[in-house]
């Protein structure tokens, strides 16, 4: 699987670690449909490969890990298309990462916004550079997070911090992210991969069966999470039928502030 031909990913397998770099630097590594398909192929393949004992996901360049989803792809979606968008992304990528029985670490090298932060949240651990900025700005588009963000952010940082981040749509810096438990470590930009490698190498010295069991048990501690994800998908899809969604996405694509009207 080393050096497979992907359009939007760079992959390398070295010393038991599978490196995935999302490679749309000019688009700040935004998640388009093809990138999500390729992530599914790369991650499921890595999980089935006995030579691989951990995965590191990062973004190309110095500006962004992943600066969100590719909004131009779904700006004209209706409710049913919105539901399918969230369901497919969660089922084929975000839940696959969340439930993976090998450690998957996000190396956040810049902006992690919207779907990009949700990608990092699905990983088992997150390492951020000092220059990283994180946020879920979907409410400014007339949307809510649709790839598990309302659930996983709350699980990591608590209800109050999650409410503030999601309802304001604002960004936080790496130090704040560390303070509230969103990331595990903050290091200089040129050390994030090395720190992720260090963690995977430590884990690789432990029993693989015990590691897989621990991941399953820790995930089980989150309770009846399936219902929460279902509610998120439902509420996400409803947003696609609102005037706020039309205004928010049109404003974003036109690079102007949105003008939301009172309901």
How are beta strands 133-135 and 185-187 bridged, if at all?
unpaired
Separation of alpha carbons 260 and 209, rounded Å:
52
Catalytic residue among 38, 73, 138, 225: 138
- Residue 263's alpha-carbon distances to 16, 144, 167, 209, 246, in angstroms, are 54, 17, 17, 53, 14
Three-state DSSP at 14 gives strand
Chain centroid to CA 108:
10
Q: Cβ distance 12 to 3 under 8 Å?
A: yes
Q: Which of 38, 118, 197, 232 is catalytic?
A: 118
- Whether 118 sits among the annotated catalytic residues: the reply is yes
**Contacting residues for 242 by C-beta, under 8 A, at least 6 apart:** 142
Is position 138 annotated as part of the catalytic site?
Answer: yes
Alpha-carbon distance of 152 to 170, in angstroms, equals: 17
Catalytic residue ranges = 118, 138
């Amino acid at each position: 699987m080393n050096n497979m031909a992907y359009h939007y990913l760079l992959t390398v397998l070295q010393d038991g670690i599978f490196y995935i770099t999302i490679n749309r630097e000019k688009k700040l590594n935004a998640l388009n449909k093809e990138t999500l398909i390729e992530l599914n192929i790369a991650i499921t393949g890595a999980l089935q490969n006995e030579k691989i004992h951990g995965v590191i996901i990062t973004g190309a360049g110095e500006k962004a890990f992943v600066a969100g989803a590719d909004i131009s792809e779904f700006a004209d979606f209706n409710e049913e298309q919105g539901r399918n968008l969230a369901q497919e992304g969660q089922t084929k990528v975000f839940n696959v990462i969340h439930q993976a029985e090998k450690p998957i670490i996000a190396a956040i090298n810049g902006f992690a916004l919207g779907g990009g932060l949700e990608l990092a949240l699905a990983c088992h651990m997150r390492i951020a550079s000092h220059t990283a900025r994180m946020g879920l700005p979907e409410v400014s588009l007339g949307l809510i997070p649709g790839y598990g963000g309302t659930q996983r952010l709350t699980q990591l940082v608590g209800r109050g911090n999650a409410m503030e981040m999601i309802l304001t749509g604002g960004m936080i810096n790496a130090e704040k992210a560390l303070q509230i438990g969103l990331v595990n470590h903050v290091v200089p930009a040129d050390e994030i991969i090395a720190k992720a490698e260090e963690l995977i190498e430590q884990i690789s010295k432990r029993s693989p069966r015990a590691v897989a069991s621990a991941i399953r048990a820790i995930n089980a501690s989150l309770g009846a999470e399936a219902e929460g994800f279902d509610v998120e998908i439902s509420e996400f899809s409803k947003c696609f039928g609102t005037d706020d969604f039309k205004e928010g996405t049109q404003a974003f694509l036109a690079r102007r502030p949105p003008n939301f009207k009172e309901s």
